[in-house]
């Protein structure tokens, strides 16, 4: 069994064949899936919950993506706190900072990021981090507002180097690798994966984005392709694919205090 720890199944590109996508994932060995619930931003907060409610093997997150931080209101935060009590909601995310696109003002991004960390801490939930071109500010805010003794979380779609991976581990996070690990020019990322301990690693697709090799020509990524990232990680770690699948699944279950699926 393998886990896709981050995918956007509510994306409109799946509207015509979502059930078939899920069937293909199951056939590929995906036994658990974490659907990310940022959707199109506030006021929508239940996109992933609605999906998780229909499938026993799918869990959900809730959160405001940094792109949508400008849309957040007090009502958003109240609804987010309420959603954290849903039995299928495992984490708050993806949250963080994105200075690449700057779809929301940076100061607003930081304020919304901190507010969501507070909500997650009060709910006892891990957090799922998005950071792009904002590493120093992300790490600094985590240091100040998310001590390593908290509920932990995931550095989603990790794209940094070995030093940033080490810093993420010091902050108490698991590191999740997506299809970028298979990209030709991702040597620094592969080095980070080589140095990171197995017991803190996760796998994801970030579907429908970042389709891994050898399927890069396929525009839409989907959960079944998490196997290709697992295959590359096994190669980097010089261990069998079965071991990578088992270890990353165990890490996911441990992080979210879940029983092994039957």
Q: Evaluate whether 228 touches 244 at the Cβ level (below 8 Å).
A: no
Statement: residue 247 has pLDDT above 90: yes
Statement: residue 112 has pLDDT above 80: yes
Q: Is the peptide bond before 208 cis (omega within 30 degrees of 0)?
A: yes
Q: Evaluate whether 184 touches 204 at the Cβ level (below 8 Å).
A: no
Give the SS3 label for residue 108. helix
User: Please, what are the domains in the chain?
Assistant: 2-255 (3.20.20.140)
Q: Which residues of 96-122 are buried (b: 16+ CB within 10 A; e: fewer)?
A: bbbbeeeebeeeebbebbebbbebbbe
Rounded Cα gap, residues 198 and 159, in angstroms: 17
Please choose, from the candidates 1, 195, 242, 202, the residue with its C-alpha nearest in 3D space to the C-alpha of residue 91. 202
pLDDT tens figures, 59-106: 999 999 999 999 999 999 999 999 999 999 999 999 999 999 999 999
Q: Mutual orientation of helices 106-123 and 135-145 as an angle, nearest 10°?
A: 30
Token digits of residue 77: 């935060």
Average pLDDT, the chain: 97
Instruction: pLDDT band for 212, please (50, 70, 90 cuts).
Output: very high
Name the phi and psi angles at 133, rounded to 5.
Answer: 55, 30
Note the pTM of the prediction, 2 decimals: 0.97
Statement: residue 150 has pLDDT above 80: no
């Amino acid at each position: 069994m393998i886990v896709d720890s981050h995918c956007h199944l509510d994306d409109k590109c799946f509207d015509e064949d979502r059930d078939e996508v899920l069937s293909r994932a199951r056939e590929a060995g995906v036994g658990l899936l974490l659907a990310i619930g940022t959707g199109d931003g506030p006021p929508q907060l239940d996109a992933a919950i609605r999906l998780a409610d229909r499938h026993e093997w799918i869990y959900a997150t809730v959160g405001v993506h940094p792109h949508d931080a400008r849309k957040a209101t007090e009502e958003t935060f109240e609804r987010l706190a309420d959603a954290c009590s849903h039995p299928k909601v495992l984490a708050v995310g993806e949250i963080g900072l994105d200075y690449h696109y700057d779809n929301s003002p940076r100061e607003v991004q930081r304020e919304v990021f901190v507010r969501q960390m507070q909500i997650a801490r009060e709910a006892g939930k891990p957090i799922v981090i998005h950071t792009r071109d904002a590493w120093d500010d992300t790490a600094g805010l985590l240091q100040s507002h998310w001590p390593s003794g908290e509920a932990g979380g995931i550095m989603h779609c990790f794209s940094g180097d070995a030093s940033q991976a080490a810093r993420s581990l010091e902050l108490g996070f698991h590191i999740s690798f997506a299809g970028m690990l298979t990209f030709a020019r991702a040597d620094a990322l592969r080095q980070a994966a080589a140095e990171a301990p197995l017991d803190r690693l996760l796998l994801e697709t970030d579907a429908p984005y970042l389709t891994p090799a050898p399927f890069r020509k396929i525009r839409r990524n989907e959960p079944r392709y998490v196997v290709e990232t697992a295959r590359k990680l096994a190669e980097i770690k010089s261990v069998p694919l079965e071991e990578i699948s088992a270890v990353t699944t165990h890490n996911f279950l441990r992080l979210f205090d879940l029983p092994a699926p039957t």
